[in-house]
Structure formats: structure tokens, C-alpha cells
Structure 1
Amino acid sequence: MENKFEFHFATIWEKVADYVPDDIALVSGENKKNWREYEQTSAKIASFLKDRGIKKNSKVGLYLFNCNEYLESQFATFKVMGVPINVNYRYKSEELIYLLDNSDSEAVFFHESYLDQILLIYKNLPNIKTWIQIGGKESPDIDNFFLYENIILSNEPMERIKRDEDNIYMIYTGGTTGMPKGVMYTHGSFVISMFGGLKMQGYEVPDVRKKENILQLKEVIQKRSHENNSTRCLIACPLMHGTGMFLGGFMTHCLGGSIITIPEIGLNPSKLLKEIELNKVNNLVIVGDAFAKPILNELDLGLKNNNPYDIGSLQIIISSGVIWSADVKAGILKHHDVKLFDSMGSSEGGMGSSVSSRKKSVKTAKFRMNPDVIVLGDDGKIVEPGSGVRGLVGTSGLVPLGYYKDPVKSAETFKEVNGKRYSFPGDYALVESDGSVTLLGRGSNCINSAGEKIYPEEVEEALKLDPSIDDVLVVGVEDEKYGQKVVAVASFNKGMDITEDDLKANTKAHLSSYKVPKNIKFVEKVSRAPNGKADYKWAKELAKEFINV
């Protein structure tokens, strides 16, 4: 009889590879790998990482768009008990240097298309001793640069090891200053949370709160495989974000399913829908209206042209991170009766969910609270249902250890209420009379544009690097395409000016393109309070008027 094994993603996936070795694990374009190949490739890379000194809690950057190699590199890092660091592939040099330095990364996997960017920054990161290029015939003739394919060809698979459940798992997200912060968990706690999430979505999975029940996983996975009912999950959003990795990557592979990715940047709705047809996708992961609206428009277009897409294989669409409006859900349901699972959460923890279908509709931004979630009023008391009081949402289900190297922010976000530790990422909500919550948004001025968190202060400072700009405020304004778009209100230095297009172009030298304002309103003087604090209310009203929202 199989012995109980540790709650660690690498160990569980090794077991899956033993249970269903011939089942498909990865699909990216024409590139497919079964579980045996996935595990063996990852084990060879793990051997290399081990030889390069990567060990328990060593940090390894993943500077990659969606592809099989992203998941192989992550699996390999987990195998040696390292910590994968998600790198936003839109970052420019300064942002990359900050992230890789702040995370204490010792190795970085990067796609060949980012080589020019790597060559600009690698000398600024002396602690990174290993740079691994994915793609291309050869890597730069520089010490510590290696080619991914050569690593696989020249290394034997690393032997399996026993792993510690307290091994750190970390995901980087935006911080209050606009700089990324690492949110730390343990593998043990995260594995339990992932299986709990699968149960909430309706999957039959072991109740791993009793550790011995993990032994039931073999029967569950082999039964799904035998019945040809394994999860075939298309992750439409970036793997570098929590939505894609948590709700798509981890959950799918813990059930022995296959992960399908489209190896290119950006959303191509037609290609996505064709991938669903081709691979008989039954699970689709998106980020709210930013993805759902273009997909719905493409479905409507196909129907209009008498060439409808076949999405009959879809059983569930999962979303998190951006509002998924009720009318868009209804539009999708006209094409196919699929379960629409809308998750309310952040990198700091899950808070609630809603499920829609043809038989059951749910209002926009309305969620059923997860167990162990509270809403805390400004007076520090728990908000009563139906009171109309706005409160801060906190969860105790899966609480991070803290933010990496930021004890002050950790103490502000993760704190005890009535003797229990909660995570308060900053989301405000109303508690309805039926106990559900209506999400109001972040209490800060954080802008959420197509799932990307953008902090006004960072954009303001970049705009003010232009010598013509005296003062500027940046706000988010509601937008049909992006959810919110970035709008700036700026004033000139005396005797100087600049066109809107030129200011945008100059700012792109300092910021990722998605952070650059879509619109800029020039005014004689930017309004501030007597103490110098920003008047964001004034700026937002002016911005709305300017773009006729």
C-alpha cells in the first residue's frame, strides 16, 4: 500500500506522473507532452539547478510568456525546493532590476525574445549566477548564460527527494508604493487550499484536511482518466498572474489534467475559441470582462456569419481579478449552458465566489462569502448583514506568512481579529441581508486595468520626469474595454509645453506601456489640499468630463 506523502506541489505532481504517465500534461500550439515527459524534462532541469546551487527557498525568476517551458521551469524549481518568481514580461529595465533584486533571485529563465532586455540589466544583478535562455540556436557567449535545450540534453533526471511542507511558495504582486511585493505562503497550506478550491468548484476530490486522505488521490485521478473526464484547461490569462497559475495551473495539475496555453502575448479571441474546439477544452480560465467581452463578441460574430464556434466541450469558465458583469455572462450563456465560476480574491487570499448558469443568474460583483471570511467596519466591528455599512474584507482561510522583506506592510495587512489571524488586502464590500457580499473595490486609489494593478504615484513620478511637466495626478476612469483606464491631469512648467502624444512617448521610456495614460488632460494648475496632498476626487471628475464618461 502506498505510504502517505508530503503536501508539496512537486511531490504531488511526481505522483500524478506515476498514476497517469501517458495522459497529456502540457499543450502549447503543436508542442504536447504527456505526464511522463513533463516530469522527466523537469527532473533534468532540476539536476542542473541543483548543480548551480539552487536549494530550499532559493529564488528563481520566470521571465516568460505562456508556454510549456514556463510550467517545466516552475516544476523543476519546485523539485529542488526553490521558489519560482513570477516576472511581468511587460516590465522595462528599472522594473525588472527592482523585482529580481528585491526577490533575491539567483537564477532566471527567460525567452529568447527578451534577450535584448536581459543584456541591458544582467550586469546590474551580480547575485544572479545563472541565466537560462529558452528558444534560439545559441545563447550569448557570456559566463553564466545557458541554453534551455542544451540543459535538457546534457543532464540526467534528478532523483526524487523528500520535501518540506514549510517550503516557501511566493507570488509577486503590486504594493502600495507601486513596486511589486512578494506574498509568501507555504506549500503545505497552499496545497490544502487548492484542493478546497477544487471542491468548491464541484470536483470530487479528497478532503485533505485529514492528511491520510491524500492517498485517495490516485483513485480519483485514475478514475477521471479512465472515464476520459480529465480536466483540459485552457489558461487564457498570463501564468505570471495568480488567476492563471492558481485557478488554472495548480488546480489542473493537482487533478492530473492537461494545461493548454497559447504561446503568444495578448488575447486573440478567434484563436482561443479554435483551441477550445481543437483540444476539446472543458475548463477555461479568464480575467473578467477584459477577456469575456472580446470572447463574447467573437462568438456573436461567428453566429452572425453562419459559422458558429463549437464550445460544447466547455463545462466551466473560471474568472478572477476583474469585474465580470452580469450582462456579459448572460451573453455567453446564450451560446452554451456552461458553469460560470466568478472568484473574488487576490494574491493575499480568496474571499468569495459566485456561480452562474442558464438556470441561475447573479448580479455583477455579488459573491457568496467563503467560510472564515469577515467584513470589518471602520469602527473595528464585524459588519452585520443588510446594515448598509461599508467594510474591509478579511479572510482567515489561507493567510500568507507575510510580504517578503516588508514587515511593516505585513503587519498592516495580516492581523488578528478575536484571536484569529486574517488577511486584509484592501477590498471593501457591503454585506447584503442574505449574507452575500457586493464588492466595492479597493479602498486605495489603485487602478485595475485589464487585470493589471497600476499605482498612480508611480505613473505620476514617471510623467514628471519630463521637464515640461510641473505637477500631475493620475486616476482610473471606468472603461468598457479595460475595466478602468489610466487618465492623467497635468500642468506645465512656466513657459513650457508638450503634446499629449509626445508626453506619452517620453513616459514609455520609464514605464511599461500598460501603465502609460491613455488620455492626458492639461490644466493651468493641479488642485491639491493646503497640506500638499493630492485632490484625487477633483482629478477624477475632471478626467471623466474630459473623456465624456
Structure 2
Amino acid sequence: MSTVVNSEREDRQQPPGFSMPGVWHLGQRDPSRPAIVIEGKTTTFGELVSKVNQLSNKFADLGLTRGDVVAGLLLNGTEYYELSLACTQSGLYFVPINTHLAGPEVEYIVRDCKASVLVVHAELADKIVGRVEDAVQHRVVIGNAPADWSSYESFTLFSDDTPAARSLGSLMMYTSGTTGRPKGVHRPLTDATPESALEPNRLFFEAVGIPAGPGRHLVCSPVYHAAPGSVSLSLLHAGHTLYVLPGFDAEKVLRMISDSAITTSHMVPTHFQRLLDLPADVRNSCDISSVDVLFHAGAPCPPATKRATIDWFGPVLIEYLGSTEGLVCVCSTAEWLEHPGTVGRPRPDTVVLRGLDGEQAASGEEGTIYFKASPFEYLGDPEKTAAAQWGDFITSGDVGRFDEDGYLYILDRRVDLILSGGVNVYPAEVEGALLEHPGVADVGVIGVSDPEWGQRVVAVVELASGFNDNEDLRTKLDQHVREQIAGFKRPREYIFVVDFPRSAAGKVSRQKLRELANGQ
């Protein structure tokens, strides 16, 4: 079967030219084409553009002008795409917020970005209702709305005429630093048309072998993340139909691929492993021959997992290295098989390594990865912005090396960053939450290798006087952390020590923490 699948796929991956018509054009030219399918309900391109125009005209009626902000605390659904597209054609910033954040974290982002409009799903409203009424003038709930909030249904009852004035808006994603406080990646706006942003995406998809013509893209990751949201939105502009799941369930994902003849999807290595772990009879009962491209990023992929996925799906894996700040490079299956472990071979004028001496690192030497990206600033943090820049290049802190052929290899995913299941966890933020508990005198948080999650969060704790290591304390610490920050950031393991390993300068020795975690 594998040989036949690969041969058929090679025929499909020779497109004569990739069309990127844009959602707005498709809404007029082909309004009945399916745009988004969720739980059996189909929204056509005509219906989607109608709702997008309603939102755009509503924003204008409220007095929003270029550069204003719309924030969304949203589950996977059509509303994410409606709001994003409306902001894109209205010269507004759209800020998607991680739905797993705790209430104080959501409140911080909403206030920091100075949102004029906030839209939340009713299932998530308890995180933010009662926290930001003094800061956000227009507050909307998808579902049953509490007092002083509007319902999304009534909010969008407006003219669906094409807006008289259209200009290019932008996503403003929030990304953390090692200090734990996230910052918005804020890009300057121009008076360009919304369609002007489509050409780079067309070139990218054509380069990675996405065939021309209608496709079917499976969304199985949270769209508030930059990559799943942006990739799916770009393919929507290309005329592909999005099949949206609320989250990742391995068997549901595999059956959706088979039943709906899915052509593309975006996953993280944890997803690959969960698919591989399905029973053989389930895997064998599903036809995956329709898949042209599986994008993956977010964490280093264990070589054995990647090889097994390639053996199963064929040469369809496209890995890329990127961050909220920008794209670094892309790696095809063929390149990875020839250079195992690489994340691709970027052009020398777009990616450089900076060594510890501050100079450009030579081939084979380690260095911080700097790359060229469209201009941006970290909202309200000029020092962080300046620290990320080196001439025309910027960095998100990853460390790597080039081999003699120009292929890039990642050595570390930022200095202290933990990548668990494709999600960033910053130790300083978890440490800050734990230090607020009276039983914690000192703490250090690290990531430890995990076969399923890539890394799991481990806390090394020195207890305060009067507290003892027992299961009751571990339970209370876990509950305490959940109340302060998102549950996915909480430690999965606690190690209690008498003497906490800090250097003479007072810095945490993470190497010693790792030795403790590994039983050395």
C-alpha cells in the first residue's frame, strides 16, 4: 500500500500553479463552496464572508479605527475565523487568547493589549466576567450572555455589505519571555489592501507541494496558537475547506482523515506518537492516502517517532522552525531523511548564528539563531524589543548549529524554556506561582525528557520550616498552582530537597536540578 500511496501522491504534488484567491473573492465567486465544517455543520464561503462583513461594519459603527484591538477567548469554531478575517479587512489587531490560561492571566492580556472589543465563548466566560468591565467597552459572549455583556448573535446583526473602507489588519499574538509575563508581538499597520498579504502564503504553499485546487485541511489543534490558526486561515484563503475538531483525539483524527479524505493538517510530535500508539486494527482500517502534507513544529520530534510516521504516511511531513516572531526555515521529508535531525537549510542571508563572543558563529559552532522577519515590537517593552535585535536580524532565543552543507540543527529550545506537548512552559512563571505557597521556601522548575510529551514539567522544591514531604502537600501544591496559572503549566512531578542548588551569585543551577531529576 505504501508504494502505491507515495506514487499517487507524487503525481498530485506537481501543481502547475497554486491559486490564492482570498476568502472575500471566493465569497462572491463561489459562495456555495464549503468553507468550514464543524460537527457536521457546514458554513459556506458566502455565509462566512457575510458574517465577516457584518462584523467589520459593526466595528466601524462602534467607532473603531485603524490600530484598535479586538481580543478573543475562543474555542475552536467559526467565530475565530470570522473575527480574524473581519479584523484583517478593517485595519484592526486581533488578539487570540490561550483558553487554558487562568483568569488573572487572561485579564492581564486583555488589559495589556487595551482591547476595545472582547469576545468570549460562554464556556470560558467565568475566567473573565467580573474582571475587565472597567477596561473593555464592548464585551460579547458567544452563547448565553451575562448582564452588561452582549450576545454574539445580536452583536453581529448588522449590514453585510462590503465595507466602504478596507485596509490590512494583523494578528497580535502574545508570547512569553523567561520573566513569565507575555508580550504582544506588535507589527506596524499600513494602508495596504487585505489581499496584499496573500502572495507570500501562495509562494510558501506552492514551495512545500500543496496541490492547486480545492483541498481539505484538518484543524485538530487549538486555533489560538499561532501556527494552527495561521496555517488554517491561509489555506482557507486558498479555497480549502477546513474540518475543525474541538481538540486532538487520536482515533477521531485518524477517522476524520479517512472519512473526509483530508489533504493537509498541522500537528505536533505528541500527536504523531498518539496516532502511532493506536491499535493496529484501527490504523489499518483507515485510509490515509489522501494526505499531501502534514506540517509539524512546536517541539523537537524524536527521530524514531518521525521515521515511523514517515513509514506510515509517506514522505509528506513538512517540519519548520518558527515562533510568534517569524519563520526561520522549512524542512521536507527528503531533506530530513538525508540529514536526520535537521530543521532545514535556510538561505545564508536570512538566518545566522551569533556565538558567545557576540560575533557570527562559523559552521559547526554553536550560536543563538537570528533570522530576518517583518518588523515588530514587543508591545510596551522597548528593552525586550532591543534585546531581540542584532542588526537586521532578530531572535527568539533558540540555540543551534549549521553543518558544512548549511543545514540547521536545534541544540536547545531557548535557554530555560520547556516544550511540553508542543506548548511553551516558562519555568520562571511556574516558580513564581509556587513561591506564593507558604510551604515553599525555594523552587526551580525544569523540563525532563518524556516519551509522550517531549518534556514534562518537574519542580525541585525546598520546603519551608514546618512543612513535610507527603502526598497531601503535593496535592495542595498542585491545587495552588492551578489557581494561579494554566493547568498545562503545572508540575507533573515534585522533588523535595533540603539544600536548594543556587550559585554564589544566587542563580538557580538548572544543571544540578536536572541531575537531581535524573537521580544522579
Q: TM-score, normalised by structure 2?
A: 0.89
In 2, Cα distance between the equivalents of 1:467 and 1:365?
45
Matches within 5 A, 1:339-418: 339-356=316-333, 360=337, 362-370=339-347, 372-385=350-363, 388-396=364-372, 398-416=373-391
Question: 2:401, 2:230 → 1: CA distance?
Answer: 26
Q: Note the C-alpha offset of 1:241.
A: 0.9
How far does residue 11 in structure 1 lie from its aligned partner after superposition?
10
1:317 aligns with 2:294: yes
Q: 1:185-224 to 2 correspondence within 5 Å?
A: 185-186=187-188, 191-203=198-210, 224=212
1:160 pairs with 2:163: yes
Counterpart CA distance in 1 for 2:243 and 2:394 is: 32
Deviation at 1:95, TM superposition (A): 0.3
User: How much does 1:299 deviate?
Assistant: 6.7
- Structure 1 segments, 4+ long, off by >4 Å, are 186-192, 357-362
8 Å contact kept, 2:186–2:379: yes
Q: Deviations over 1:237-262 (max 9, x none)?
A: 21111110222322x02312122210
1:190, distance to aligned residue in structure 2 (A): 5.5
Distance 2:140 2:241 in 1: 25
Q: Distance in 2 between matches of 1:500 and 1:164?
A: 53
Separation in structure 1 between the aligned mates of residue 198 and residue 413 of structure 2, nearest angstrom = 27
**1:534 CA drift (Å):** 1.3
Q: How far off its partner does 1:192 sit?
A: 4.8
Aligned position for 1:253:
236
Amino acid aligned to 2:251 = S
3-state SS in 2 of match to 1:182:
strand
Say which is worse superposed, 493-502 or 476-485, in terms of deviation: 493-502
- 2: CA distance, partners of 1:182 / 1:358: 34
Who is 1:78 aligned against? 88
Aligned to 1:176: 178
Secondary structure in 2 matching 1:275: helix
Q: Which residue does the alignment assign to 1:496?
A: 467
Partner of 1:509: 483
Query: Is 1:329 matched up with 2:331?
Result: no
Flag the structure with more relative contact order, 1 or 2, with Cα contacts below 8 A and sequence separation at least 6: 2
Gap change, CA 1:377 and 1:513, over 3 Å in 2: same
2:98 is the alignment partner of 1:97: no
1:89 aligns to what SS in structure 2?
coil
Q: Does 1:466 align with 2:437?
A: yes
State the match for 1:207 in structure 2: none
Question: In structure 2, how many angstroms separate the alpha carbons of the residues matched to 1:20 and 1:299?
Answer: 41
Aligned-partner residue type, residue 85 of structure 1: V
Taking a change above 3 Å as real, the CA distance of residues 280 and 347 of structure 1, as seen in their structure-2 partners, is same
Q: Which runs of 5+ in 2 are unaligned?
A: 1-19
> Does 2:224 correspond to 1:240?
yes
Q: Distance in 1 between matches of 2:393 and 2:309?
A: 36
Deviation at 1:48, TM superposition (A): 2.2
Label 1:333 to 1:452 Cα distance change in 2 as closer, same or farther (>3 A).
closer
Determine what percentage of the aligned residue pairs are the same residue. Answer: 23
Q: Equivalent residue of 2:456, what SS?
A: strand
SS in 1 for 2:352: strand
Q: Distance in 2 between matches of 1:390 and 1:405?
A: 32
* Paired residue secondary structure (2:101): coil
Matched residue, 1:65 = 75
Do the aligned residues in 2 keep the contact of 1:376 with 1:391 (CA within 8 Å)? yes
Q: How many residues of Structure 1 are paired with residues of Structure 2 in the alignment?
A: 492
The aligned residue for residue 277 of structure 2 is: 297
SS at match of 2:172: strand
Q: Distance in 2 between matches of 1:236 and 1:14?
A: 25
1:81–1:399 CA distance, 2 compared to 1 (3 A): closer
> Which residue number in structure 2 is paired with residue 149 of structure 1?
153
* Matched residue, 1:139: 145
Q: 1:391 to 1:269 in 2, by over 3 A?
A: same
Name stretches of at least 5 consecutive residues in structure 1 with no aligned partner. 1-9, 205-223
Distance in 1, matches of 2:126 and 2:336, equals 52
Amino acid across the alignment from 2:453: Y
Residue aligned with 2:75, SS: coil
Equivalent position to 1:127, from 116, 120, 135: 135
Structure 1's 336 and 297: CA in aligned 2 closer, same or farther, altered over 3 A?
same
Q: Of 273, 284, 299, which residue of structure 1 is paired with 2:265?
A: 284
Distance in structure 2 (CA, Å) of the matches to 1:11 and 1:312: 27
Q: What letter matches 1:180 in structure 2?
A: P
1:25 alignment partner, one of 13, 31, 35:
35
TM-score (norm 1): 0.84
Cα distance, 1:164–1:491 mapped onto 2, change above 3 Å: same
Deviation (angstroms), 1:133: 1.3
* Secondary structure at 2:153 match in 1: helix
- Kindly state the Cα deviation for residue 542 of structure 1 after the two structures are TM-superposed: 0.5
Alpha-carbon contact 2:21-2:237 (below 8 Å) kept: no
Task: Please state if 1:268 is matched with 2:249.
Answer: yes
- Note the 1:28-67 alignment, pairs <5 A: 28-67=38-77
Write the distance in 1 (CA, Å) between the matches of 2:418 and 2:482.
18
3-state SS of paired residue (1:121): coil
- For the 8 Å contact 2:419–2:454, the answer to whether it is kept is yes
RMSD of aligned Cα (Å): 2.3
Amino acid at match of 1:74: S
SS in 2 for 1:119: coil
Cα deviation for residue 338 of structure 1 reads: 4.3
Q: Indicate if the aligned counterparts of 1:247 and 1:318 stay in contact, CA closer than 8 A.
A: no
Q: Compute the displacement of 1:380 (Å).
A: 3.1
Question: Offset at 1:536?
Answer: 1.4
1:29 and 1:489 map into 2 onto residues whose CA distance is 43
- Note closer, same or farther for the CA distance 1:301–1:481 as it changes in structure 2 (3 Å cut): farther
Residue 537 of structure 1 pairs with residue 508 of structure 2: no
Give secondary structure in 2 for the equivalent of 1:81: coil
Deviations along 1:3-35, one digit per CA (max 9) or x if unpaired, are xxxxxxx99431232333222111111221111
